[in-house]
Structure 1
Amino acid sequence: MGRDQSFEALLDEHGAMLRRIASAYEAGRERRHELEQDILLAVWRAMPRYRGEAPVRAFIARVAHNRAVTHVAREAAEPRRQPLDEETPSAAPTPHDALEALDLQDRLAVAVRALPLSLRQPALLTLEGFTPAEIAPMLGLNANTVSIRLTRAKVALRDALNPQDRS
């Protein structure tokens, strides 16, 4: 199997995870698509360095997260520009908008994006099915630190998803 075919097979198997990672770092459709392309290029370039020391899924997740962090850092250094978008909702939600806001998956994605990077990475990888022991080497941490960050992320997500429960 050639490199192009093996890369296509890799994308078939892990493309959805890579798109979810990109969406955790970019909310805007165009920027998210740009990040997805950057991640794919980074994975393409990194695959020849894969030595089989970890599962390929973990390897490409780490490459994707590293690329996303670089993307966020680059974006933070640029001046803020926000084009007006006809689809941008107004500040006052309509009843229809309020019902749509109740959709758990969308609310969870927004809440994960709002987490500080140190909590977002382990939370997102946990949502992808990785254990703290698998996440630790990806992030250069020990499993205990990952578990502590996950506990903090869960509290922050619970607060974000259930604001009426705060007392």
Structure 2
Amino acid sequence: MADLRDIITAYGSGLARVAASYEADPALQEDLLQDILVAVHGSLPSLKQAESLAPFVFRIAHNRSVTHVMRQAARRKGDLPNLPEGQAETPEQLLLADERARMVTTAVRRLPLPYRQVMTLVLEDLSYAEIAEALDISVSNVGVRVNRAKARLREMLDAR
């Protein structure tokens, strides 16, 4: 059974990218990442199959991230937040050398939550089956969401 150090080593950068895909503010990203890691640590005893570790970890990450977005939206008393144009770059974006990659990251952050979830996991190289397990949806639903997310991303990127 993996411990938290193993999970941070294997998935730390991916979990940081998940947090960054839900939260633009660097300080809140760090808080979200810590919340994710605490939740993963607390949930490890319930992991039944070690080979399902990646979907297990990313499911917790996405669930915590969705909760975070909902809490932030409730605090602002508004709709689900989108990254406004001209938002300051996050640490994740600063690490991305390619301008196109920054544009894709911004576009993914602006996707509706169901599409953002699948695209974040696609970008982490999880299979459709692993994504389905992580999000508790069918593999065909993953495919539909990925296709719709890609179409929206194309629209956003072509509009620039």
What TM-score range do you get, normalising by the shorter chain?
0.7 to 0.9
Kindly provide the CA deviation profile for residues 80-138 of structure 1, in whole angstroms up to 9, marking residues without a partner as x.
6xxxxxxxx69xxxxxxxxx9x7012111111110001111111111111122221122
Which has the bigger relative contact order, CA under 8 A and spacing at least 6?
2
Out of 140, 149, 154, the residue aligned to residue 153 of structure 1 is 149
What is the CA–CA distance in structure 1 between the aligned matches of 2:144 and 2:45, rounded to whole Å? 34
What is the CA–CA distance in structure 2 between the aligned matches of 1:143 and 1:31, rounded to whole Å? 32
**Matching of residues 38-53 of structure 1 within 5 Å:** 38-52=35-49
* Contact persistence 2:40–2:57 (CA under 8 A): yes
* Contact persistence 2:54–2:130 (CA under 8 A): no
* Contact persistence 2:55–2:133 (CA under 8 A): no
TM-score, structure 2 normalization: 0.81
1:69 is aligned to 2:66: yes
Amino acid at match of 2:159: P
TM-score, structure 1 normalization: 0.78
Gaps spanning 5+ residues in structure 2: where?
Answer: 78-85, 88-95
What is the CA–CA distance in structure 2 between the aligned matches of 1:162 and 1:44, rounded to whole Å? 41
Amino acid at match of 2:55: A
State the shift of 1:35 in Å. 0.7
Q: Matched residue pairs, number?
A: 143
What is the CA–CA distance in structure 2 between the aligned matches of 1:134 and 1:79, rounded to whole Å? 34
Amino acid at match of 1:61: F
Amino acid at match of 1:158: R
What is the CA–CA distance in structure 2 between the aligned matches of 1:159 and 1:32, rounded to whole Å? 27
What is the CA–CA distance in structure 1 between the aligned matches of 2:65 and 2:42, rounded to whole Å? 15
Gaps spanning 5+ residues in structure 1: where?
Answer: 81-88, 91-99
